[in-house]
Amino acid sequence: MNLELDHIFILVKPKAKVADLLLSLGMKESISRDHQGQGTSNRRFEFSNGMIEFLWIRDEEEAKNGPGRDLLFSERAESQLSSPFGIILNRKDNVHIEMPFYGWKYQPDYFKPPMAFHVGMNSSNLLEPLCFYVPFIEPFERKIEKGIFKSISNVKIYTTTENTSGVLDVAHRADRLSIANGDQHLMEITFDENQRGLTKDFRPDIPLVIYW
């Protein structure tokens, strides 16, 4: 399949203070931004082949009534049963492909048309991660300075629904990403093939475990 993981996000409480836990391990924070029309803001950590994004509701009214209302960010943030995760995929090479799963076009205010997301039809299922395909992003490698965490080897996301949608079946086959059923929403990220043999479990602060 000509798909790979571009980045993932985790929906967290306002200001994403939990992101400081990653700073304490030596991860380097990138620039942050507000998502106009979507009602969200973020904190980001970039690596050579991907990114971790911590997302929170900045403007409840905008999140519920703006162009991004059908992403149901507010509803996800209000329910502890909902998946707090998002998956963003792009193609592995410059060969254009058809939309990889059934979905709908999301034209955010912070992108100039015709740049738009393709959002998976599972977006209304709060038990599953949000899935995005970005057709206008071509493969590239980020320039990362020397540090402990250089590249994302794999991301594994656990969802509490037993019968996952066709959207997640497609996402599961993308490079560096796997989806599994679990008894709780959880994300596991392996950096640099786990060369150091170290592990950090951020629960209960974040549903995240990392290996490096």
Q: Provide the pLDDT confidence category of residue 175 given band limits of 50, 70 and 90.
A: very high
Residue 98: pLDDT over 90: no
Q: What is the mean pLDDT of residues 97-111?
A: 94
Using the structure block, give the residue that is written with the tokens 């993932």.
8
DSSP notation for 20-68: HHHHTTT--B----EETTTTEEEEEEEETTEEEEEEEES-HHHHHHSTT
Instruction: Note down the domain range covering 23.
Output: 3-211
pTM for the model stands at 0.95
Is residue 163 predicted with pLDDT exceeding 80? no
Residue 170's domain is classified under what CATH number? 3.10.180.10
189-202 per-position pLDDT tens digit: 999 999 999 999 99
Domain count, the chain: 1
Q: Determine the pLDDT at residue 143.
A: 73
Give the pLDDT score at 142: 75
What contacts 48, CB < 8 A, 6 or more positions away? 141, 142, 144, 150, 151
Q: Is the pLDDT reported for residue 60 higher than 70? A: yes
pLDDT over 90, % of the chain: 88
Check pLDDT > 70 for residue 125. yes
The pLDDT, as a whole number, for residue 145 is: 65
Q: CA–CA separation, 123 vs 34, rounded Å? A: 21
* Candidate from 3-12, 43-52, 83-92, 96-105 with smallest mean pLDDT: 96-105
CA angle 71, 56, 114 (to 5 degrees): 45
Q: Is the pLDDT of residue 65 over 80?
A: yes
